[in-house]
Amino acid sequence: MLALILLLVVGSILAYISKFNIMPVTVNFGVYVLTDIPLFYVIIGSVIFGLVLSYLFYLAHAISHVFKLRGKDKEIKKNKNEVLGLTRQVHQLELEKEKRKKNNPLEPVDKNSL
C-alpha cells in the first residue's frame, strides 16, 4: 500500500514537472548529439542516472562490508577453536592431576607454605 501511495506521489510530481518543461533542447554526449529532446526527459534522465549511480556506490560499499565481516567471522571461528583446544588441554591436565593424587595418597607437605 505504501509503495502505491509513493508511486502516485512521484507520478504526480513528474506530471507537474513535465507540464512546465516541454521546450526542446539539444543534449551533447561527446561526439553524439541529440536534438529536440524535451527538457522534461533530460531532467528525468538525470534523476534516474543519479539514482542508479548512487545505488552502485551503495552496492560497492555493502560488498566491501560483507568481505570485512567474512574475515572477522573466520577470525572468530579460529579463536573459538583455539579456546576449545585450550579447554580440552586444561581438562586433560585436571584429569591427570586427579590420577596422580589417587596414585600417591601421601603428598609431600611443605610446612612453610601458606
Looking at every residue in the chain, the average pLDDT score rounds to 87
Over residues 65-97, the pLDDT tens digits come to 998 888 888 899 999 999 999 999 998 888 888
Q: Where are the domains of the chain?
A: 20-102
Over residues 34-69, the pLDDT tens digits come to 999 999 889 889 989 999 999 999 999 999 999 888
Q: Is 21 exposed, middle or buried (0-12, 13-18, 19+ CB in 10 A)?
A: middle
* Angle, vertex CA 13, rays to CA 10 and CA 14, nearest 5: 85
Query: Nine-digit cell at 66?
Result: 560483507
Place of cell 591436565: 93
* Percent of the chain predicted with pLDDT > 70: 90
Whether the CB-CB separation of 27 and 37 falls below 8 Å is answered with yes
The CB-side HSE value for 42 (13 A sphere, CA atoms) comes to: 15
